[in-house]
Amino acid sequence: MQPDGPSPDSRLSDRAYAWIGLLLGLLAGAIPAFIFPHSTTLFSLAGSPLPWWIILIGLAGAVAAFVRPDGVWRWGLYVGVGLPVFVILRVFYDWFGDPTSHSRFPFEVAAALLIGLPSAFLGAYVGLLVRQLILAGQQGRR
């Protein structure tokens, strides 16, 4: 008798999904940061990447949880950590050009955590909810 679902060999490992989630978070952090000028402050909404980070991190978490619904909290964690990792990488890159920049580096990382994790967790659970609603609607039609 065949087990339901794909065989364990045909699925990606949990480590691969962790890397995919982290890359989704990195991309969601990088896209708005490169669109908006570097001189804008994080917490002024006019011309800031902040609202876009919230939207894109949440969307990345939702897509990830929609595609693979088991371990939703992991998707929130993997994707949510991507934004602080991006901030750290950007700070290191900026330090090569101007070592005096980013004097509040730990606070930038803490702010990225406070933005990334709740957005990703909310997005992941919304993605799971949407998936369950779609599946319930499909089963109701049968």
Across residues 129-134, what is the average pLDDT? 93
Cα–Cα distance for residue pair 96/99, rounded to 1 Å: 6
How much is the pTM? 0.80
pLDDT for res 38: 60
Across residues 63-78, what is the average pLDDT? 90
Write a three-state SS string for 15-43: HHHHHHHHHHHHHHHHHHHHHCCCCCCCC
